[in-house]
Structure 1
Amino acid sequence: MKSVKEITEQLLTGAAIADALDDLATLRLEIFQEYPYLYRGLREDELTYLGTYAEAPDACVILAYDGSTVIGAATGMPLIHEDAKLRGAFAGTALPLNEVYYVGELLFRPAYRNCGFGRKLLAQLENHIRSLCSYHMITCATVERPEDHPSRPRDYVPITRFLAHTGFARVPGATVHFTWLETDGAKRDHTMSFWSKELI
């Protein structure tokens, strides 16, 4: 098991994020092939999407390194700068969108999971968001899959368990649908639910 002390982190904001886009795209393309995403992405699409982090005000990226190798990342930006469909998911809620910060990713390569790195990176991200003094809540989205999905690994631990343990709660009625190409070559519609946490 890796030690938390062996891992270093780098917080990037503004134009500095542009230098990390290739590493982020690689991480996303590899990890999102796994369950529950089963996503077959294109690097060009990833770089286009990730480019918004270098442009959106108050967006940030935290890279986790083992030596010089990127092994994890956390990303986020104010919800008001995110995709219109994501913002629309909160139309029926009482959340003030201009005070909500959206966590796009919290990803680690398999060998670095369940070692405490997720909590450490999330805490660093939350501290940065607090320092901006404009956002009082953070939110993220999870992919909904049935428990009997044929691609679900026997030892799969849902991210929702981590979210519940770190103070997040599901946002009632907040869902969004996205269609993407899965690893078996079929395009499917996917429901994503939202979880939120108040920053104290």
Structure 2
Amino acid sequence: MPSTPPPLPQGIHIETLTGDALVGRIGDLAALRIAVFRDWPYLYDGSADYERRYLATYAAAAGSVVVAATDRPGGRPGGRMVGAATGLPMRHEPTSLTGPMAAAGYDIDRLFYFGESVLLPEWRGTGIGVAFFAAREAHARGLGGFTHACFCGVVRPQSHPHRPVDAVPLDGFWHRRGYAPVAGAIGRMAWRDTGCDIETTKPMQFWARAL
């Protein structure tokens, strides 16, 4: 069943961006990714130049979408981006991601992939994250031909020196959205952690649900 988002905070507007509208907000999305992913569990040491190049390639993929949460009086579109979530057909992703899902029995051409979901800390727990899932699922259904949605999350060891003592995994939130881990489906992504000089490859656990 489709996810039903709760009422949004006053002044928040959810925009589903594709095509030129998506391209026009790449700078905002890049800034959000750098700010939010710097924290646990991603610890991502990003740069604006890399982000713009990565996101320009993403925006060019047929079927891609950015769902943006903007903060503006009256909830009107066009305000400051306080959060965003991305998605695109899985076939556009590299084999380091498509391979594990194909091996798990999924038809890559019928799989819609959710990329990042980033939200400034002061807006978490307000229903925006639920709206991100609902809007991306609706976009995938609207494209037609997709049977499942999936995403992956980084797996960090319990003994990681930068794990906060009060860290709470998002597993419960994802389960409530109807997603479940895909047994044995571990993707791989590489990035440079904060405080490190080189990129390292991280395991990424896949989650999926039927659309």
**Which one of 42, 48, 62 corresponds to residue 53 of structure 2?**
48
Partner of 2:4: none
Matched AA of 1:115: T
Partner of 2:21: 16
% identity of equivalent residues = 36
Aligned 1:16-95 pairs, distance under 5 A: 16-67=21-72, 68-95=79-106
What is the root-mean-square deviation in Å for CA atoms of aligned residues?
1.6
Matched AA of 2:47: L
**Which one of 83, 107, 117 corresponds to residue 128 of structure 2?**
117
**Which one of 171, 176, 192 corresponds to residue 187 of structure 2?**
176
- 1:4 is paired with a residue of what secondary structure? coil
Matched AA of 1:139: C
Select between 184-193 and 166-175 the one with higher mean Cα deviation: 184-193
Partner of 1:139: 150
In the alignment, the residues of structure 1 paired with residue 190 and residue 137 of structure 2 have an alpha-carbon distance, to the nearest angstrom, of 30
In the alignment, the residues of structure 1 paired with residue 47 and residue 116 of structure 2 have an alpha-carbon distance, to the nearest angstrom, of 17
Select between 54-63 and 82-91 the one with higher mean Cα deviation: 82-91
- Note the C-alpha offset of 1:186: 4.2
Partner of 1:126: 137
* Greater RCO (CA < 8 Å, at least 6 residues apart): 2
Cα deviations by residue, 1:73-123 (Å, 9 ceiling, x for unpaired): 010000001123211222311111101000001211000111211112211
Kindly indicate whether the alpha-carbon contact (under 8 Å) linking 2:66 and 2:84 is maintained by their aligned counterparts in 1: yes
- Note the C-alpha offset of 1:54: 2.1
In the alignment, the residues of structure 2 paired with residue 15 and residue 115 of structure 1 have an alpha-carbon distance, to the nearest angstrom, of 29
Matched AA of 1:194: F
Partner of 2:167: 156
- Note the C-alpha offset of 1:147: 2.4
- Note the C-alpha offset of 1:126: 1.1
Partner of 2:203: 191
TM-score when normalising by structure 2? 0.88
Count, aligned residues: 198
- Note the C-alpha offset of 1:12: 1.0
- Note the C-alpha offset of 1:190: 1.1
Matched AA of 1:32: F
In the alignment, the residues of structure 1 paired with residue 159 and residue 59 of structure 2 have an alpha-carbon distance, to the nearest angstrom, of 39
- 1:63 is paired with a residue of what secondary structure? strand
Kindly indicate whether the alpha-carbon contact (under 8 Å) linking 1:17 and 1:60 is maintained by their aligned counterparts in 2: yes
Cα deviations by residue, 1:125-145 (Å, 9 ceiling, x for unpaired): 211211112211100010001
Task: Write out the 4+ residue segments of structure 1 that deviate beyond 4 Å after TM superposition.
Answer: none
- Note the C-alpha offset of 1:66: 1.1
Matched AA of 1:133: G
Unaligned runs of 5+ in 1: none
- 1:91 is paired with a residue of what secondary structure? helix
